[in-house]
């Protein structure tokens, strides 16, 4: 006869309500575990999506994500000529507050606009700023070279057209939508598989030339002022990094060491870049979330312990009676522990189910795999087991004599 | 008849130094098989302490205690042994019946048997028969909260009898009942004592049932006053 189950069935409403409350708490703790995983994964996704074996950046800098890096665009040629390098591509990165200007603009297969059309569109956009604000991490790349979108879900990639844009699906932009950035309007020609920046902003790819315009071109009044002041316009063939993909048997460390010997340049292998991203760029966010998760788990443990202790106290007379009529200690321990574990199991299941149903609605990515969920389940099991010890200790100290008398 | 409960020169005190309270002094008492003995006395006279001693919950400071022919507290008894002794040889009846609220009447009785390693199905079958015998069989599936005071006390008596104990200890079993039901409970205890040749000790303040005992033992200030 399982006394724990019978007692739970007798007070089913109270037990389920307790489980719902604890389940919500465990759901929040599990969400933090998922957000932690999401922060790390998002931090790495940008670098991983580039599938680069090497990152060539400004000398003394740790790359375009951790620090500012500007190098001439023609470095790509020099990198591509190195032994072991299969292909190389120039990239720019910048965070932009764009505006979603609404409906489609022209047909997807239309010809690329010429310089005059680009200036005309810039003028149109400048006259009337429209649409909802959208934060994007814009990547400028050379079509047919490394650094483009990792995969196209809808539409097509950028060919040679100017003012075309491929957006990550998390941006929520439909195909054909018009996006305004720095007085220029871009047409969404493709939707990529999920790719976000270290800050969780969706990525958008445009041509390197468009991105250099976006990043380095001065507005007409600023250009006039620069000209009147005697300074020329900034050189526009500047990029933030050059990435290289190596031949299968090439040694990334050796090629990186070769590039580091060049004046004014530095090189990081893919692994070094990932290390920079996780240890430097998102380190504080990672630690903050990790600490918060630990605090939540401690709070959960205390709450489980209190619930079990209270449940045991409520049964003081019943436990005393059981002892008096000869129930062995193991029956009393089983009663308390089984209830603690069942409480943990039901709460964990309900919290996990709730989180899995809601995780896609979180603003930032929640990464929960089987390893995270099962690991958390084991942790909840251990917490419940330890927390039940308080109840067990109380139960074992109940005197059978407490069953006697009024 | 042979004595099932024998107390010889039993003494028990609590605390130490000036705060020490002598709850029982030089108690000598025996209860035979089939005998129903009432234990009465004012509050603080030592009734509960005596009951706890016979129930093997408290260890006496002096004297010997023999239950069903075995000397208890002679240094050979572990806590588990004492619990097993209670399980197998002693039945308890409480003032407020103390039925487990999450088990129905049958399982409350069957539980006592399963603790004694009787298979659950067999225990339930025997429990129902016992409830029928105590004329509360129709309430076999009722939860304790749904039972009347008299019904609950009958179920509690059934639980006390579940393992055919040689000794039955009852702590104010009629205190929560009206006089008619109190008489019925006492009749049941007398019947059980006869049928099972058990020694029954009842702690009570209820003078309406004094006449139902074979013997009434009075306690005052920890000593046997009248037998």
Q: Which residues are within 8 A (CB) of A223 and not within 5 positions of it... i.e. 6 or more apart?
A: A233
Domains of chain B by residue range: 3-226
Average of per-residue pLDDT across B66-94: 86
Contacts of B224 (CB under 8 A, 6+ apart): B27, B28, B29, B217, B218
A11/B115 Cβ within 8 A: no
Task: With a cut of 70, say whether residue B35 has pLDDT above it.
Answer: yes
Q: What is the pLDDT of residue B104?
A: 94
CB contact under 8 A, B98 and A321: yes
* Alpha-carbon gap, residue A98 to A184, rounded angstroms: 10
Task: Tell me how crowded residue A47 is: count the other CB atoms within 10 A of its CB.
Answer: 24
Burial bucket for residue A226 (CB in 10 Å: 0-12, 13-18, 19+): middle
Q: What is the pLDDT of residue A189?
A: 92
Beta strands at A71-72 and A85-100: parallel, antiparallel or unpaired: unpaired
What pLDDT is stored for residue B111 in this prediction? Answer: 92
Inform me whether the C-beta atom of residue A327 falls under 8 Å from chain B C-beta atoms. Answer: yes
CA proximity to A277, closest of A199, A195, A365, A198: A198
Contact B67, B143 (CB under 8 A): no
CB contact under 8 A, B100 and A324: no
Q: How far apart are CA A139 and CA A196, in angstroms?
A: 11
Is the sign of the CA dihedral A160, A161, A167, A169 positive or negative?
A: negative
The Cα of A297 is separated from the nearest Cα of chain B by a number of Å equal to 32
Q: How distant is the Cα of B178 from the closest Cα of chain A, in angstroms?
A: 17
List Cβ neighbours of A313 (8 Å cut-off, separation of 6 or more). Answer: A394
Is there a contact between B191 and B34 (Cβ–Cβ < 8 Å)? Answer: no
Name the CATH topology of B3-226: Rossmann fold (3.40.50)
pLDDT digits (tens, 9 = 90+) for A330-384: 999 999 999 999 999 999 999 999 999 998 888 878 888 899 899 999 999 998 8
Q: What is the pLDDT of residues B88-137, one digit of tens each?
A: 889 988 877 889 999 999 999 999 999 988 999 999 999 999 898 888 88
Helix axis angle, A283-314 relative to A12-50, nearest 10°? 170
Q: Do A326 and B48 touch (CB under 8 A)?
A: no
Handedness of CA B135, B139, B141, B146 (dihedral sign): negative
| Interface contact B88-A326, CB threshold 8 A | yes
- In this structure, what token pair is assigned to residue A397? 């100290």
* Of the partner residues B58, B84, B120, the one whose CB lies closest to the CB of residue A326: B84
DSSP string, A244-289: EEE-TT--HHHHHHHHHTSTTEEEEEHHHHHHHIIIIISHHHHHHH
Q: Taking an 8 Å Cβ-Cβ cutoff, which residues of chain B contact chain A?
A: 48, 51-52, 55, 57-58, 80, 83-84, 86-88, 92, 94-96, 98, 100-103, 107, 110-112, 114-116, 120, 143, 159, 171-172, 175
Q: Looking at chain B, which residue has its C-alpha nearest residue A6?
A: B102
pLDDT band at A15 (very low <50, low <70, confident <90, very high): very high
- Range picked from A121-125, A233-237, A369-373, B124-128 for highest mean pLDDT: B124-128
| Contact check, Cβ <8 Å, B87/A7 | no
Helix A329-358 and helix A370-397: axis angle, to 10°?
A: 150
Q: What is the pLDDT of residue B171?
A: 87
A25, A299 Cβ separation under 8 angstroms: yes
Q: List the B167-171 sheet strands across, edge first.
A: B90-93, B167-171, B199-203, B36-40, B215-220, B223-226
Q: Is A41 exposed, middle or buried (0-12, 13-18, 19+ CB in 10 A)?
A: middle
* B94·A404 Cβ contact <8 A: yes
DSSP string, B71-125: EESSS---HHHHHHHHHHHEEEE-TT----TTS-HHHHHHHHHHTTT--HHHHHH
Q: Which residues of A touch B120 (CB under 8 A)?
A: 1
Neighbouring CB atoms inside 10 A of A16's CB total 14
Write down the pLDDT at residue B78.
Answer: 85
Which positions in chain B touch A403 (Cβ < 8 Å)?
92, 94, 98
Residue B209 has φ and ψ, to the nearest 5°, of -110, 5
Report the sign of the C-alpha dihedral through residues A321, A326, A327, A330, in that order. positive
pLDDT over 90 percentage in chain B: 30
């Amino acid at each position: 006869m399982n006394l724990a189950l019978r007692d739970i069935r007798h007070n089913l409403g109270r037990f389920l309500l307790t489980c719902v409350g604890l389940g919500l708490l465990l759901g929040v703790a599990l969400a933090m575990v998922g957000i932690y995983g999401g922060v790390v994964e998002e931090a790495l996704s940008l670098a991983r999506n580039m599938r680069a074996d090497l990152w060539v950046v400004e000398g003394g800098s740790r790359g375009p994500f951790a620090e500012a890096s500007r190098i001439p665009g023609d470095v790509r040629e020099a990198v591509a000529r190195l032994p072991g390098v299969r292909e190389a591509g120039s990239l720019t990165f910048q965070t932009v507050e764009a505006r979603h200007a609404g409906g489609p603009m022209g047909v997807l297969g239309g010809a690329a606009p010429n310089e005059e059309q680009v200036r005309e569109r810039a003028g149109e956009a400048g006259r009337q700023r429209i649409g909802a604000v959208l934060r994007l991490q814009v990547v400028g790349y050379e079509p047919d070279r490394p650094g483009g979108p990792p995969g196209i879900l809808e539409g097509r990639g950028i060919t040679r057209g100017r003012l075309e844009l491929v957006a990550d699906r998390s941006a929520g932009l439909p195909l054909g939508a018009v996006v305004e950035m720095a007085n220029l309007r871009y047409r969404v020609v493709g939707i990529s598989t999920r790719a976000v920046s270290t800050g969780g902003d969706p990525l958008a790819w445009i041509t390197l030339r468009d991105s250099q315009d976006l990043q380095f071109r001065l507005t007409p009044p600023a250009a006039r002022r620069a000209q009147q002041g005697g300074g020329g316009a900034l050189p526009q063939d500047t990029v933030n990094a050059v990435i290289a993909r190596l031949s299968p048997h090439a040694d990334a460390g050796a090629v990186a060491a070769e590039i580091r010997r060049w004046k004014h340049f530095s090189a990081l292998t893919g692994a070094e870049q990932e290390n920079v991203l996780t240890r430097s760029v998102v380190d504080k966010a990672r630690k903050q979330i990790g600490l918060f998760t630990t605090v939540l788990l401690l709070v959960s443990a205390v709450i489980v312990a209190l619930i079990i202790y209270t449940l045991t106290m409520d049964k003081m007379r019943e436990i005393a009676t059981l002892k008096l009529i000869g129930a062995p200690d193991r029956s009393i321990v089983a009663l308390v522990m089984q209830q603690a574990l069942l409480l943990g199991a039901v709460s964990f299941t309900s919290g996990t189910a709730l989180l899995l149903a809601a995780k896609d609605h979180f603003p930032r990515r929640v990464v929960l795999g089987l390893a995270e969920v099962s690991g958390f389940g084991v942790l909840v099991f251990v917490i419940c087991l330890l927390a039940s010890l308080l109840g067990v200790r109380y139960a074992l100290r109940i005197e059978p004599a407490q069953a006697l008398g009024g | 008849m042979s004595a099932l409960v024998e107390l010889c020169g039993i003494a028990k005190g609590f605390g130490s130094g000036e705060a020490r309270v002598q709850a029982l002094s030089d108690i000598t008492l025996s209860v035979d098989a089939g005998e129903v003995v009432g234990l009465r006395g004012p509050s603080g006279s030592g009734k509960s302490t005596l009951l706890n001693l016979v129930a093997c919950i408290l260890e006496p400071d002096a004297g010997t205690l023999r239950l069903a022919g075995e000397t208890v507290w002679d240094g050979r008894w572990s806590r588990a042994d004492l619990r097993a002794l209670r399980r197998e040889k002693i039945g308890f009846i409480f003032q407020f019946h103390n039925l487990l609220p999450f088990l129905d009447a049958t399982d409350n009785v069957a539980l006592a048997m399963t603790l004694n390693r009787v298979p659950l199905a067999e225990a339930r079958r025997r429990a129902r028969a016992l409830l029928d015998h105590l004329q509360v069989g129709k309430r076999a599936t009722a939860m304790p909260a749904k039972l009347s005071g008299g019904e609950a006390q009958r179920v509690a008596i059934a639980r006390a009898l579940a393992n055919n104990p040689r000794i039955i200890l009852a702590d104010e079993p009629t205190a929560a009942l009206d006089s008619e039901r109190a008489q019925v409970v006492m009749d049941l205890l007398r019947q059980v004592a006869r049928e099972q040749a058990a020694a029954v000790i009842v702690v009570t303040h209820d003078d309406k049932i004094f006449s139902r005992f074979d013997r009434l033992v009075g306690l005052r200030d920890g000593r046997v006053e009248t037998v």
